[in-house]
């Protein structure tokens, strides 16, 4: 049986899910990141879109847990934001979300 849950969060609560935000530097350091998940069904289209746009308007968010990341991405979708879930291979690794949020 599948249940659908509706949860309500404020933007302040949403922003508490991530601990670090930076302007996107992904195009310069693509090899540092591994793609974990993406919005939509077509990875090639999403990857091309993220690769080809101006990253001046994108942010990278670092989160501690998989649960925080899944929740954050679901919230981004509700705000009609694009996102790409990355694994940051630097140091000990961590979750990173690239988004236009």
Give the start-to-end residue ranges of the domains of the chain. Answer: 33-50+57-101
How far apart CA 75 and CA 79 sit, in angstroms, is 6
pLDDT in tens, 52-67: 677 788 999 999 999 9
Written as six digits, the tokens of 35 are 């793609």
Written as six digits, the tokens of 55 are 């990253």
Q: Specify the pTM.
A: 0.83
**β-sheet bridge partners, residue 62:** 20, 96
User: What is the length of the chain?
Assistant: 101
pLDDT in tens, 10-50: 999 999 999 999 999 988 898 899 888 776 656 556 665 66
Q: Name which of 43, 98, 52, 93 is nearest 76 in CA terms.
A: 98
How far apart CA 91 and CA 70 sit, in angstroms, is 22
């Amino acid at each position: 049986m599948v249940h659908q849950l509706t949860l309500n969060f404020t933007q302040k609560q949403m922003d508490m899910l991530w601990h670090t935000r930076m302007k996107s530097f992904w195009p310069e350091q693509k090899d540092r990141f591994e793609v974990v998940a993406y919005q939509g069904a077509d990875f090639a289209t999403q990857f091309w879109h993220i690769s080809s746009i101006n990253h001046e308007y994108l942010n990278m968010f670092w989160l501690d847990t998989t649960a925080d990341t899944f929740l954050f991405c679901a919230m981004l979708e509700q705000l009609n934001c694009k996102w790409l879930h990355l694994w940051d291979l630097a140091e000990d690794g961590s979750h990173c979300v690239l988004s236009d949020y």
